[in-house]
């Protein structure tokens, strides 16, 4: 048999090469898309962290609301009376003066403890701690 009589075999190499080029182009596009998405994710994560830090800064700077300030005030009043009753009878003429001294001392030490000029400037995040401070207050600790 001669070569002339053989059926011509198609040349697949150019088609395969073209397909390979297209696959490489698609791969490059997909890589670029992937890198863009990765960068966007990283940017979003960074912004989320920044927002979380700002939110925490705001939370840390917010002071007691009216109800919380009222509750601190009530705790100071109750504690000053309790401390005075431990030492004097309600009928004693010095009772009110001693209540006042205890109250002033509690206010002074509370403001020192939380580094504020006014008790109402205690930060909200410190509210529970301020109540506990007042409730456990002992003048002996500061004399």
pLDDT at residue number 138: 94
Nearest to 72 by CA among 112, 141, 121: 121
What residues contact 60, with CB distance under 8 A and at least 6 apart? 123, 125
Instruction: Say which range, 20-29, 92-101, 107-116, has the weakest mean pLDDT.
Output: 92-101
Backbone phi and psi for residue 62, each to the nearest 5 degrees, phi listed first? -75, 130
| pLDDT bracket for residue 86 (50, 70, 90) | confident
Backbone phi and psi for residue 124, each to the nearest 5 degrees, phi listed first? -60, -35
pLDDT digits (tens, 9 = 90+) for 10-28: 788 888 999 999 999 999 9
Task: Give the CA distances from residue 132 to residues 28, 91, 129, in Å, rounded to whole numbers and listed in that order.
Answer: 63, 29, 5
Among positive and negative, which fits the CA dihedral 121, 101, 92, 134?
Answer: positive
């Amino acid at each position: 048999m001669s070569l002339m009589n053989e059926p011509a075999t198609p040349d697949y190499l150019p088609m395969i090469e073209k397909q390979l080029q297209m696959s490489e182009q698609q791969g490059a596009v997909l890589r670029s898309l992937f890198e863009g998405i990765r960068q966007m994710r990283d940017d979003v994560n960074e912004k989320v962290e920044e927002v979380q830090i700002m939110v925490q800064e705001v939370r840390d700077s917010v002071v007691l609301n009216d109800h919380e300030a009222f509750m601190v005030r009530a705790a100071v009043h109750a504690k000053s009376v309790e401390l005075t009753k431990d030492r004097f009878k309600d009928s004693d003429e010095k009772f009110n003066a001693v209540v006042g001294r205890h109250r002033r001392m509690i206010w002074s030490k509370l403001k020192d403890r939380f580094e504020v000029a006014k008790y109402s400037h205690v930060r909200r995040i410190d509210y529970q701690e301020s109540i506990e401070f007042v409730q456990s207050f002992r003048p002996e600790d500061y004399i």
